[in-house]
Amino acid sequence: MASTSSRPAAVSLDADALTRYLDGSYGDIRREVREILARPEHAPVEAGISTAAYRELVLERMRSLAADGKTGIGFPASVGGMDDVGGAVAAFETLGHGDLSLMVKCGVQFGLWGGAVLHLGTEEHHRAYLPDTITGALPGCFAMTESGHGSDVQSLATTATYDPDTEEFVVNTPDDDARKDYIGNAATHGRIAAVFAQLVVGGESHGVHALVVPLRDEHGATLPGIRIEDCGEKLGLNGVDNGRIWFEEVRVPRTALLNRYADVSPDGTYSSDIENANRRFFTMLGTLVQGRVCVGGAGAAAAKNALTIAVRHGLRRRQFGPEGGLSEALLLDYRTHQRRLLPRLARSYALNFAQSELLEEFHRVFTDVGSDAETAERDRRRLETFAAGVKALSTWHATDTIQTCREACGGLGYLAENRFAALKADTDVFTTFEGDNTVLLQLVAKSLLTDYKDQFEVLDAPGMVRFVADQTIDTIVEKSLARQLVGAIADVIPGIDDTPRDVREREYQIELMRWREEHIIGSVARRLKRGMDAGMGPFEVFGACQDHVVAAAHAHVERVVLEAFARAVDACSDTALKVTLDRLCDLYALSAIEADRGWFLEHGRMSAQRSKRITREVNALCAELREEAGPLVDAFGIPDAVIAAPIAT
Amino acid sequence: MASTSSRPAAVSLDADALTRYLDGSYGDIRREVREILARPEHAPVEAGISTAAYRELVLERMRSLAADGKTGIGFPASVGGMDDVGGAVAAFETLGHGDLSLMVKCGVQFGLWGGAVLHLGTEEHHRAYLPDTITGALPGCFAMTESGHGSDVQSLATTATYDPDTEEFVVNTPDDDARKDYIGNAATHGRIAAVFAQLVVGGESHGVHALVVPLRDEHGATLPGIRIEDCGEKLGLNGVDNGRIWFEEVRVPRTALLNRYADVSPDGTYSSDIENANRRFFTMLGTLVQGRVCVGGAGAAAAKNALTIAVRHGLRRRQFGPEGGLSEALLLDYRTHQRRLLPRLARSYALNFAQSELLEEFHRVFTDVGSDAETAERDRRRLETFAAGVKALSTWHATDTIQTCREACGGLGYLAENRFAALKADTDVFTTFEGDNTVLLQLVAKSLLTDYKDQFEVLDAPGMVRFVADQTIDTIVEKSLARQLVGAIADVIPGIDDTPRDVREREYQIELMRWREEHIIGSVARRLKRGMDAGMGPFEVFGACQDHVVAAAHAHVERVVLEAFARAVDACSDTALKVTLDRLCDLYALSAIEADRGWFLEHGRMSAQRSKRITREVNALCAELREEAGPLVDAFGIPDAVIAAPIAT
């Protein structure tokens, strides 16, 4: 068994109080959704269900959520909603504890299709489509991705050409590469779609815009000019009907254009308040942020289910033990077992608080009416960066944690009844949908390198490289360089480790992470500039630093998450909870630093002695938190009926 | 795009020649099995198949393999086999490219059940059971694991009590914790089982022994006293019928005891050539080594399928690209993409050659008749350690690589038709069956710490701790300490990095890995001794170092794998292949060292400058090998019909 620290464990942790603290501002909504998921009609779907039956069941469950009034939260009161965008995301995230096909189906229907109508359309579109969208009576699709273009949305090849004679748009799929692919709700249920296409007016292309295009009649028959193919079985999420769509000269009225940011007059004059085409594109794309906030939150929720199961199993299952002992040792008494589960438990807490801050910021930005345009736009950029970063870390965390928890439950974890089968399969795509994580981290890095400048939204990778190269390095990495200098001096004073700072000191942990982030950003900027100075093309320069760029973003997000956790610890007024949260925060920070200790050592920011000290401290924190591991997963507040794993309930 | 090195790429790599080199001694058998798997009757199972239908299909396919003469390779010619134990494992490993339920079903039937009869039984058992086992006419089970005891086999609770009056054993399941659990072939097809139980003779328990117990009659009806329950749906491998078995006072004749290592006379006298009960137990358990060799090889095979799919996709799929370029860039031209796939490709090659050596050693040890008992036993210990280590690394490699490949194929990788669904689900349990990897690495560490001493087999964890503590540290870590001294001296000479050794020098890479291994073993030994000296109990001492013990084993296996790869490079007589293999070996070694650079820096074995240099070299190697990535996966030799992924064929 791992040695225990001399620090006392909190004797009795109040799991309910901790649940309330984790739930944050949207506690009521989260609790209501958890209670709904615990009802028998949301019981786990049997493992052998046919795909056809699963899809119908999910549609039915989605409509039952609508009947409960939980699907209109984020929509305007004028169309039957509750005008609470933050609450809508909180409800959606909480669905991540339950059947994930249901969650994704809801995401497609209310977030993507409903969100496109809401954010890209105007009053008339809202009135026409949103009431039936909210009830689920009108299943809709978000037809953006094409077979040839996933991440690179700006290169979509579907066209919508304006015909002034009939005042219609003609929507067309030029080739198989341009078919809409992987579209949720398309294979079976979708009646209508927001279709993203290159808008061509008077022979001129104005870039990607969205139009509403009907797909099927009320009997489910495909409309003329529409061809739909089923994507077939997937690794998971088989309750969602993904399909491919081809448009053959499909005509829709002029008013089908979702015209909040751009319009076409009857005579064929294109107009937009946003003159720059790139900027317009990114403004429209900005509405995707909600999807990213939701997926990150749902992935984090699913990881909590896995941790609940594995920790409870580790507190029941015995194996081997001391000679002459009364019983064998509990799995969670073994250090390797603690090491597998407890740092991930700490990271779940960290991401919980970061996600809460993200959600509050999301709500603020999306309901902000008082700020000037420039501030509002800058806020949106920051929000997009924040959301992209947290989405990437949360979904990777989900994949990693669910896998580790499965392994920690051995063969029992491999039985479908213990839920890891569905958890693994259904969450697996989270790392690559709503933005591939690696691509998202590159977006984060671009924001950091350009300091969220207005130019950001018009910058693709080469544009960003040119932008950075045009700056004096000082402008970008001023702070960074200053800090490095301080760091370097502090580290070369002989005997610095003789009077070491406590590795559990929060400010020390944050400083380490901030130093790393700024150092990497600074050196990426210098490499970009050097590459351009050496005459390489911007695409090549970016490519040569790509792994470095991703590392910069990763370091940034880890620091942002730590600061969010630190604020949550500081703000906690319950002394007992605070002690525990403080330890969890230490474990999150120190295990993250330990995982990247190669970097800190390489850059002279940490001595070997200090590095080994951190490893010992992670072990000690695991031993301390092992005593509270049960209540710490209870505090996730997931009802037994939702956990639904015989080994954990 | 990543910068390319100035070293020239091999212009045209002969994939066929490379296949032959990878296949090694068992090329013919491997090729035959691949060709069989490419036949239409082995086409991938449709994603929506019912579990009942899948199980029947797998049984049918297993019998068709038997009809092809591929299932008796490892059995004695006297019972219809071919007396080629190494060939049998090679055939089994190769099945890892196909449907993994079929592979596991074969593993249960021929490896576990057939292997128990072969290795633990005597002539009479061979004649009675093996002919029908080889044809698949007699489906058998290996009933070892119990609900309460997975890894800790010595604590099994099922009993087999000798009744001298009737000359029978009475097999009994005392409670639900002692039911046999997760037994392959049990739920539907198994007619007979090798049951592991505590042997009680004349009121005295002699430890775990195996007996043959019939389960069902020829019509499939369960026999009196036998109760069987279906384990139900699993995360994967649903073509294998796992079940739970309870025995209620089931009587079997005295001759049902598999009596190679111990016997009971009619009057109830227990006898064994191996006096020590622990030693006897581990000798019997040693026959499990074949399963570990097979599972490691099969996991490595499945990882090759995943890499073939992802690399081919990366060489076709384009996304973004330089402005004004004729086309977008290939995914594999991006450094982040290279970084994800190519080090794993190199590791696949490394494990291939290590597995080949393991297989040759396995064949040698199992056919060895000339050695004296002590040498033979020592050889078996070494083989068990080697097999346990390679199994752990190969199966973790499979889980990690298949996941990464899925992500590298984005949404397309999530479609069942592109095979990752089955690859992921079916291989997932490999890390925890045939020995949990974390437990296996602890076995490896024990061997290292006791230097494969005869005492090894009687040592559980506490025993090992006591053994180590009783040695003078010098005995155990003599070499280790000497090396550390040299290392330390070399590293403190100022300016050592001014004339650095080439990081691509093989001996340098091996030296780094060897130094790490010996350093960790030495410090674990010192910690164990210190703990005992301080009066802690051996179980506690071991627990406090458990993560350290696992790290020692991991470092050992990585070094062993590198040396195997290095020997394969040296032995290659084809100059062009040798250049490529040499690079792959560099990439394996340097990416492994890079991944653990925190440790090397912490222990002063590498300067920060050298560490950064290694990262740059990994990037350069990725760029060089990117040019040969296509042929490098072609060389795995997996037929298109077996790959069976539309994005890769």
User: How far apart are alpha carbons B597 and B241 in whole angstroms?
Assistant: 44
Write the residue in A1, A233, A411 that is nearest to B540 by C-beta.
A1
CA angle A328, A329, A332 (to 5 degrees): 150
Residue among B445, B608, B467 at smallest CA distance from B518: B445
Average pLDDT in chain B? 90
In chain A, residues with a C-beta closer than 8 Å to the C-beta of B152 are 319-320, 328
Residues 6+ apart with CB under 8 A from B425: A235, A421, A424, A425, B235, B236, B237
Give the pLDDT band (50/70/90) at residue A321. Answer: low
Option in A235, A336, A406 nearest B421 (CB): A235
Exposure of B627 by Cβ count < 10 A (0-12 exposed, 13-18 middle, 19+ buried)?
A: middle
Q: How far is A608 from chain B (nearest CA, A)?
A: 4
Asked if pLDDT for residue A324 goes beyond 70, the answer is no
In chain A, what residues touch B460 (CB-CB under 8 Å)? 320
Question: What is the mean predicted confidence (pLDDT) over A507-533?
Answer: 92
Q: Closest partner residue to B232 among A145, A417, A601, by Cβ?
A: A417
The whole-angstrom distance between A575's CA and the closest CA on chain B is: 31
Residues of B with Cβ-Cβ distance to A416 under 8 angstroms: 232-235
Q: Kindly determine whether residue B432 and residue A425, on different chains, have CB atoms separated by under 8 Å.
A: no
Nearest residue of A to residue B338, measured between CA atoms:
A547
Residues A376-396: tens digit of each pLDDT: 888 988 999 999 999 999 999
Whether the pLDDT of residue A369 is over 80: the answer is: yes
In this structure, are residues B388 and B443 in contact, taking their beta carbons and an 8 Å threshold? yes
Distance CA B618, CA B335 (A): 11
Provide CB contacts within 8 A for B347, sequence distance 6+: B397, B401, B588, B591, B592
Residue A412: which of B186, B400, B238, B182 has the closest Cα?
B182
Q: CB B428 to CB A410 under 8 A?
A: no
Q: Where are the beta strands (DSSP E) in A276-354?
A: none
Identify the weakest region by mean pLDDT among A354-363, A435-444, A458-467, A609-618. A458-467
User: Could you tell me the pLDDT band of residue A496, with boundaries at 50, 70 and 90?
Assistant: very low
Q: Is the pLDDT of residue B484 over 80?
A: no
Contacts of B596 in chain A (CB under 8 A): 598
Give the count of alpha carbons within 13 A of A341, CB side only.
32
Contact A249, A170 (CB under 8 A): yes
Ramachandran area for residue A387 (φ above 0: left; ψ -120 to 50: alpha; else beta) = alpha
Mean pLDDT of B553-558: 98
For B133-158, give the DSSP string. Answer: HHHTSS-EEEE--BTTBSS-GGG---
> In B, which residues are within 8 Å of A323 by CB distance?
462, 538-539
State how far residue B280 is from chain A, nearest Cα, in angstroms.
Answer: 20
Tell me if residue A128 falls in helix, strand or coil.
helix
Chain B residue with the nearest C-alpha to that of A321: B539
In contact, B636 and B308? CB cutoff 8 Å: yes
B322, B328, B333 ranked by CB distance to A537: nearest: B322
A-B interface: how many C-beta pairs under 8 angstroms?
226
Q: Report the C-alpha gap between B184 and B243 in whole angstroms.
A: 7
Q: Average pLDDT in the B256-274 region?
A: 96
Closest by Cα among A626, A614, A456 to A3: A626
| Minimal C-alpha gap between A544 and chain B (Å) | 4
Asked if B618 and B587 touch (Cβ cutoff 8 Å), the reply is: yes
pLDDT of A2: 42
| Chain B residue numbers touching A187 (CB-CB < 8 A) | none
Measure the CA–CA gap between B585 and B565, rounded to whole angstroms. Answer: 6
Pick the residue of B230, B238, B407 with the most A CBs within 10 A to test the interface with A by mutation: B407
Looking at beta carbons, which residues of chain A come within 8 Å of B605?
none
pLDDT at B329: 85
- The structure tokens 């949908």 sit at A433
Distance CA B113, CA B198 (A): 19
| CA distance linking residue A531 with residue A540, whole number of Å | 9
Calculate the CA B53 to chain-centre distance.
Answer: 29
The per-residue pLDDT for range A25-50, each reduced to its tens digit, is 999 999 999 999 999 999 999 888 99
- Lowest average pLDDT, out of A197-201, B46-50, B233-237, B310-314, goes to B46-50
pLDDT at A65 over 70: yes
Q: What is the mean pLDDT of residues B99-124?
A: 96
**What spatial distance separates the first Cα and last Cα of chain B, rounded to whole Å?**
26
Write the residue in B50, B151, B594 that is nearest to A319 by C-beta: B151
pLDDT band at A494, cuts 50/70/90? very low
How would you classify residue A385: left for phi > 0, otherwise alpha for psi between -120 and 50, otherwise beta?
A: alpha
| Amino acid, single-letter form, for residue B185 | N
Which residues does B128 contact at the CB level (< 8 Å), separation at least 6? Answer: none
pLDDT of residue A476: 52
Smallest Cα distance from A463 to chain B, Å: 10
For tokens 């009857």, the residue is A266
Query: Is the pLDDT assigned to residue B355 strictly greater than 90?
Result: yes
pLDDT for the residue numbered B387: 96
User: B339, B267, B348: which is closest to B96 by C-alpha?
Assistant: B348
Query: How far is the C-alpha of A626 from the C-alpha of A622, rounded, in Å?
Result: 6
User: Given this model, what pLDDT does residue B351 score?
Assistant: 98
Cross-chain residue pair B336–A438, CB shorter than 8 Å: yes
Q: Kindly report, residue by residue over B408-442, the tens digit of the pLDDT.
A: 999 999 999 999 999 999 999 999 888 899 999 99
List Cβ<8 Å contacts ≥24 apart for A228-233.
A228/A186, A228/A187, A229/A187, A230/A187, A230/A188, A231/A181, A231/A182, A231/A187, A231/B415, A232/B47, A232/B415, A232/B416, A232/B417, A233/A51, A233/B47, A233/B48, A233/B415, A233/B416, A233/B417, A233/B421
d(CA A307, CA A341): 7
Residues paired with A197 in a beta bridge: A209
Contacts of B429 in chain A (CB under 8 A): 411, 414
pTM of the model: 0.92
Judge: B598–A596 Cβ closer than 8 Å, yes or no: yes
CA distance B291 to B285: 11
Residue A599 predicted with pLDDT over 80: yes
Q: Taking residues A588-614, what's their average pLDDT?
A: 94
Residue B24 is classified by DSSP as G
Residue B370: CB atoms within 10 A of its CB come to 7
Closest residue of B to A543, CA-based? Answer: B1
- Is the Cβ pair B233, A543 closer than 8 Å? no
d(CA A344, CA A314): 14
Q: Round to whole Å and give the CA distance between B321 and A151.
A: 12
- Could you tell me which chain A residue has the CA closest to the CA of B47? A233
3 state SS of B556: helix
Query: Would the CA dihedral through A513, A517, A520, A526 be positive or negative?
Result: negative
* Nearest neighbour of B336 by CB, restricted to A325, A417, A547: A547
Average pLDDT over residues B468-497: 49
Is pLDDT at A14 greater than 70 in this prediction? Answer: yes
Query: Which residues does chain B have within 8 Å of residue A48's beta carbon, measured at their own beta carbons?
Result: 50-51, 233
Please indicate whether residue B238 or residue B479 has the higher confidence score (pLDDT). Answer: B238
Q: Which residue of A has its CA nearest to B149?
A: A319
- Rg (alpha carbons) of chain B, rounded to whole number: 26
On the question of pLDDT at A53 being above 90, the answer is: yes
Tell me how far apart the alpha carbons of residues A546 and A528 are, in angstroms, rounded to a whole number: 10
Task: Kindly list the residues from chain A whose CB atom is less than 8 angstroms away from the CB atom of residue B420.
Answer: 235
Instruction: Give A597 to chain B, closest Cα distance, Å.
Output: 5
In B, which residues are within 8 Å of A3 by CB distance? 540, 544
Mutant choice from A101, A179, A235 vs B, greatest count of B C-beta within 10 A: A235
